[in-house]
């Protein structure tokens, strides 16, 4: 998310104390304040009337300095992150054929929608998450482990009974790359269940064709989800579920 110069000018003149950001220099016009507030919310700052400041989970000066240095603030959607709605999570669990005591990996765990459901089903769950704010949130939940990292950079170990995942949706086709990498983490007779954009079903590029070949070779399946399944998460991308054995 790009940040306009006038917003950065206000931020550069602001004052910070620990996790608090104070806007100085008098009252701002409505348009500028609206854009400033949107930027601060994207960076993790929330207005607190009692403190008369925007409050951050961590050091406010660090968050603001990053915006001023780069001219942008990273928001989850920049990384293809769209939280998994409850009805979709329920479908994933149906496809995953779970048993209590299984080990499971959620390689793009986000805020824990899928991983929490797996844990509630009695599985031992390990989470990997790229965004630090999301990873901090996951650390407060009852998972076996949480690792803040780029999943594609992690050396595979075939130690999981199940991989259940909602990989990034983006123009780089990250969903396919993440699913192919995730297959390498399955034990023999393990099962992967992954949400993917429906383009994987009909695209005729080499990457999509090769992916469908892998699904077929492993006697897997790709099932369409209802249209607009992710509308509540901020995207109208049509989605499906890939179900693939080790």
203-229 per-position pLDDT tens digit = 888 999 999 999 999 999 999 998 888
Per-residue model confidence (pLDDT) at position 76 = 52
Specify the range with the lowest mean pLDDT, choosing from 1-5, 31-35, 46-50, 242-246.
Answer: 1-5
Task: Name the pLDDT band for 25 (thresholds 50, 70, 90).
Answer: confident
Q: Which residues contact 99 (CB under 8 A, 6 or more apart)?
A: 122, 161
| pLDDT value, residue 74 | 59
User: Is-contact 121 142, C-beta < 8 A?
Assistant: no
- Which of 17-21, 76-80, 103-107, 162-166 is predicted with the least confidence, judged by mean pLDDT? 76-80
Could you tell me the CA-to-CA distances from 92 to 88, 114, 155, 165 in Å, in that order? 6, 8, 25, 9
Tell me the DSSP string of 24-74: -SSPPPHHHHHHHHHHHHHTT-EEETTTTEEE-SS-HHHHHHHHHHHSB--
- Kindly state the average pLDDT of the residues 55-60: 88
**Is residue 245 over pLDDT 80?**
yes
Taking 80 as the threshold, does the pLDDT of residue 79 lie above it? no
pTM of the full structure: 0.69
Report the distance separating Cα 116 and Cα 15, nearest Å: 38
- CA 142 vs CA 111, 115, 126: distances in Å: 13, 9, 10
Torsion of CA 114, 79, 12, 24, to 10 degrees: -40
Helix axes 86-96, 113-120, angle to 10 degrees: 50
Average pLDDT over residues 166-172: 83
Backbone angle region of 245, left / alpha / beta, with phi > 0 → left and psi within -120 to 50 → alpha? beta
Nearest partner of 212 among 184, 85, 157, 220, judged by Cα? 220
């Amino acid at each position: 998310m790009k940040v306009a110069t006038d917003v950065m000018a206000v931020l550069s003149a602001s004052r910070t104390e620990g996790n608090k950001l104070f806007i100085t220099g008098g009252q701002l016009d409505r348009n500028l304040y609206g854009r400033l507030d949107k930027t601060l919310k994207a960076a993790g700052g929330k207005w607190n009337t009692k403190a008369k400041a925007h409050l951050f989970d961590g050091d406010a000066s660090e968050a603001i300095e990053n915006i001023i240095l780069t001219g942008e603030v990273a928001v989850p959607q920049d990384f293809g992150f769209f939280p998994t709605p409850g009805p979709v999570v329920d479908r994933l669990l149906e496809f995953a054929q779970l048993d209590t005591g299984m080990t499971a990996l959620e390689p793009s765990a986000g805020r824990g929608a899928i991983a929490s459901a797996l844990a509630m089903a009695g599985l031992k769950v390990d989470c990997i998450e790229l965004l630090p704010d999301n990873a901090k949130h996951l650390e407060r939940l009852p998972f076996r482990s949480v690792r803040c990292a780029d999943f594609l950079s992690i050396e595979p170990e075939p130690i999981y009974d199940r991989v259940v995942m909602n990989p990034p949706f983006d123009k780089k086709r990250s969903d396919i790359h993440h699913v192919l990498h995730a297959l390498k983490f399955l034990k023999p007779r393990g099962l992967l269940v992954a949400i993917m954009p429906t383009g994987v079903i009909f695209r005729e590029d080499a990457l999509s064709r090769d992916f469908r070949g892998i699904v077929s070779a492993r006697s897997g399946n790709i099932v369409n989800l209802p249209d607009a399944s992710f509308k509540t998460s901020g995207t109208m991308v049509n989605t499906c579920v890939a179900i693939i054995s080790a």
